[in-house]
Structure 1
Amino acid sequence: MTTRLVVQRNDIRAFQWTESPAVTLNDGDVRLRIDTFALTSNNITYAALGDAMNYWQFFPTGEPATGCVPVWGFASVVESRCPGVEVGERFYGYWPIGDEIVLQATGVHPGGFTDGAEHRQALHPIYNQYVRCSADPGYRADREAQQALLRPLFATSFLIDDFLADNGFFGANTVVMSSASSKTAYGTAFCLAQRKAVTVVGLTSPGNADFTRALGCYDDVVVYEDIATALPETASVYVDFSGSGSVRSAVHRRLGDQLAYSCAVGATHWDGMGGGDDLPGPAPVLFFAPEQARKRIAEWGPEQFQANMAAAWTAFMEPVTDTEHPWLKVVAGQGRDAVERSYTALLAGTVPASEGHVLSLSER
């Protein structure tokens, strides 16, 4: 039997576990045991934007009212009918919350393969790639948890930083980021801090203010309640990781014509989404990381793109895994109860900013 966590697409608080018979492999198929996966506010964004951004289409349930929340992590091949993909090999990639999956391995090469399932053909290819750990220069067995938790988020961070620099920061001297304690936000702040080209201001809740300041990658931290009085009135770009309509409105009204660009990225405040009509300043523009990746791969070439990202990732790992004051504490969980606790805590916004949850349903 195959186990999956399935949520209601119109109410992501409602979820249930489903079990279905294991499918028989066809030629070219591989069965993988999903060993570990990260569950973060990024996955809540996938669910909140599931219809708008087609995230529900990666692992369809067969029921239009339900969906599988995608996650990033590691899986091992337990059965293969695909030459070049052997039992026992380990892959990093995009999975449903579950215990196993069958993929149609196409385009097999030394670095991995692509899932060639028909329902994924129209979806962005960056999510359909499965990386062979033994051939991944960035893979370290002792940092699997950090990779599952942060690598997909940091890829977005790297690309936001690159996008802003590529556009000359739209003429602004300051970058303002909401949900500043979130992993994608502080990854972006880390990249921006290396450039020393702009002032970086983080917006966060009072409860996360000390953590955010202690990171050291923000020049200033302002709590949400003080935006109207404390946010510096200077030429700025707003990068919105929260999706909160009230926060967006406060930033736009505070900065007005000083706001050079408004960039919508995430939905950590998924239950407060909305707003954007009749706001001063530029209309928010959705940032889609794969498009910036596509542009840079075309310009730099795939090898240079990977090298540039790997260099940034290696630098980022230093504070993240610092022995005395790590930015991230890994919290491991096993079984359905652990997954449910983590998912509901993320929905409620009660997971401490310093924690990252790595989970498993499989008995290894």
Structure 2
Amino acid sequence: MAQQQQPAVQLISKSDFTTQHVVPVSLPTPFPPLSPGQARIRTHTISLTTNNFTYARLGGIPYLGWWDAWPMPPCSSLPAPFNEPSTLAGYCRVLAWGYSAVVESAVPGLEVGTLLFGTQPIGTLAEVVELESIEDVDGHWREVSGRRKHLNSVYNRYIARPRDDTDREGMGWDALMNVLFQSGYMLNRSVFAWEEGVKAVHPLGDPALPWTEEDADLTGAVVVMLAASGKTGLSFAREMRARRPREKQPAKVIAVGSAKSKEFTVGTGLFDEVLLYSDLEDQAFDLEYRLKGDGRKVLLMDFGARGGAVDQWAEALEAKSKNLQALIVGGDPLGKEISKTGKQTEDPASGVAQFFAGAVRDRVIEAGGAAKYFADQETAWAEFKATRTVPGLQLKRGEGLASFSEDWNKVVKGEYGTHIGLVYGFPV
């Protein structure tokens, strides 16, 4: 294990999640002994994606609870001004996806040195997790501490893997895209299911909400994907193209994004056409022609378009299509408010649905069992990693919390293109 310097954590302003600080933590050592069922972990490898900003922006919503995933350090352990309870109350911590290393264990069957894939703390402070074995799949563990009981199960499941520091690139891809790939995988296989005997799952994962075969059918449709160059959008487009039978494919898949991302998006080869958000402002732009103009189903998917793009495109498509379906997969990562289109998800009759990956996964596991779900998904993910079927997508690796914090500010400023995947290693 690497020698540890003074630990530190990232603290994020609850009122302005673009504002964050790296704060040192002074705790007495040695640490108190673990109780049975507890393990002490340190972050090993994590990613920085727009998901992190979503966790910061919406984490205070009680049923999401992302701010509760990791405890705040005691005020007495922090420097001024964070040592004042009133100041610290204005900050939160959020989670990141990747690997941690078990540095101490009182969990039967969980050895020191094991890597745990799942949601990780952002920082170098050793954290305590309370784990129990999940019987449905070997090597899977559930975090059962009281503070995390209200989180969806996807955030509390950890997958144990032997430590292999020679596979830094593979772990980087896991941290960056495994969970986002799962979203694209489930959208293709479960929400827009086509296989005989597979019942389509409502995007929200609520079995009480109707989701018909017609809702799930993409055959001959035109799919319009906003922010398609993001990791989830690329995963869905790739899975739809690679794993869906040709006779069940959409007639056309259109990506819509920024001028900055267009070259990369075109280069992926996953889309029939790549448009700009601003094309709607061009009076010569013929949207009806792009939609094939024959009354076929149009599916608008928002993977996190910035500004007012989703509302503008929803309005334009509604005017040109008699059969418009809309799905909100992600929101503007830096937006302060939910879009008008996003708010329509509260009305089941609006034709606009919200995607909740964790709940959809729960329904799929209930239907077919966890062992089958993870075997199928991990096979698909391994094939994706091995073939690198998104040309131009590349990893950029940083080291340590300072690098993570610096890049957080750069992402806020839009300094990284969507072709860059940010991952970070930590000494453990």
Please name the residue that 2:185 is paired with: 158
Matched residues in 2 for 1:298 and 1:39: separation?
Answer: 31
Matched AA of 1:187: S
Matched AA of 2:114: E
Matched residues in 2 for 1:296 and 1:112: separation?
Answer: 17
Match for residue 107 of structure 1 among 122, 133, 138? 133
Matched residues in 2 for 1:286 and 1:212: separation?
Answer: 24
Q: Cα 1:64–1:90, aligned 2, differ >3 Å: closer, same or farther?
A: same
What is the Cα deviation at residue 329 of structure 1?
1.6
Deviations 1:189-221 (A, max 9, x none): 111112241122111101110100110111211
Please name the residue that 1:186 is paired with: 234
Deviations 1:28-63 (A, max 9, x none): 211112111111122222222223432212124275
What is the Cα deviation at residue 288 of structure 1?
0.4
Matched AA of 1:354: H
Deviations 1:306-341 (A, max 9, x none): 232123223322452x6xx84422111113331122
Matched AA of 1:10: S
Whether contact under 8 Å (2:50, 2:333) holds in the other structure is no
Matched residues in 1 for 2:94 and 2:323: separation?
Answer: 34
Whether contact under 8 Å (1:34, 1:76) holds in the other structure is yes
Q: Where in structure 2 are there 5+ consecutive unaligned residues? A: 1-5, 74-87, 194-199, 201-211
Whether contact under 8 Å (2:69, 2:94) holds in the other structure is no
Matched residues in 2 for 1:37 and 1:250: separation?
Answer: 35
Instruction: Give the SS at the match of 1:145.
Output: helix
| Alignment of 1:342 onto 2:342 | no
Matched residues in 2 for 1:268 and 1:289: separation?
Answer: 17
| Alignment of 1:248 onto 2:275 | no
Matched residues in 1 for 2:370 and 2:140: separation?
Answer: 15
What is the Cα deviation at residue 2 of structure 1?
4.0
Whether contact under 8 Å (2:311, 2:339) holds in the other structure is yes
Matched residues in 2 for 1:268 and 1:330: separation?
Answer: 23
Instruction: Give the SS at the match of 2:340.
Output: coil
Q: Cα 1:319–1:258, aligned 2, differ >3 Å: closer, same or farther?
A: farther
Whether contact under 8 Å (2:324, 2:351) holds in the other structure is no
Please name the residue that 1:130 is paired with: 158
Name which structure has the greater RCO, CA cutoff 8 Å, separation 6+. 2
Q: Cα 1:308–1:27, aligned 2, differ >3 Å: closer, same or farther?
A: closer
Matched residues in 1 for 2:113 and 2:379: separation?
Answer: 29
> Which residues of 2 match residues 1-364 of structure 1 at below 5 A?
2-18=7-23, 19-21=25-27, 23-24=31-32, 25-52=34-61, 53-61=64-72, 63-99=88-124, 100-107=126-133, 110-134=138-162, 142-162=169-189, 163-165=191-193, 166=200, 168=213, 170=215, 173-194=221-242, 195=244, 196=246, 197-198=249-250, 199-227=252-280, 229-231=285-287, 232-233=290-291, 235-244=297-306, 246-256=308-318, 257-258=321-322, 260-271=324-335, 273-276=337-340, 282=350, 284-320=352-388, 326-360=391-425, 362-364=426-428
Matched residues in 1 for 2:147 and 2:404: separation?
Answer: 27
Whether contact under 8 Å (1:243, 1:272) holds in the other structure is no
* Length-normalised TM-score, structure 1: 0.88
Whether contact under 8 Å (1:242, 1:270) holds in the other structure is no
Whether contact under 8 Å (1:243, 1:270) holds in the other structure is no
Structural RMSD (CA)? 2.7
Matched AA of 2:230: S
Greater than 6 Å deviation, 4+ residue runs: none
Higher strand share: 1
- Greater shift after overlay, 70-79 or 41-50? 41-50
- Tell me which structure has the larger Cα radius of gyration: 2
Instruction: Give the SS at the match of 2:108.
Output: coil
Q: Cα 1:345–1:258, aligned 2, differ >3 Å: closer, same or farther?
A: farther
Q: Cα 1:193–1:33, aligned 2, differ >3 Å: closer, same or farther?
A: same
Whether contact under 8 Å (2:307, 2:332) holds in the other structure is no
Deviations 1:108-166 (A, max 9, x none): 6641321111011121112111111139xxxx665111111010110111112231233
* Length-normalised TM-score, structure 2: 0.76
What is the Cα deviation at residue 230 of structure 1?
4.8
Instruction: Give the SS at the match of 2:299.
Output: strand
Matched AA of 1:34: T
What is the Cα deviation at residue 225 of structure 1?
0.5
Q: Cα 1:308–1:230, aligned 2, differ >3 Å: closer, same or farther?
A: farther
Matched residues in 2 for 1:283 and 1:227: separation?
Answer: 22
- Greater shift after overlay, 351-360 or 106-115? 106-115
Aligned pairs, number: 357
Deviations 1:287-312 (A, max 9, x none): 10112112211222222212321232
Whether contact under 8 Å (1:276, 1:284) holds in the other structure is no
Q: Cα 1:90–1:193, aligned 2, differ >3 Å: closer, same or farther?
A: same
Instruction: Give the SS at the match of 2:150.
Output: coil
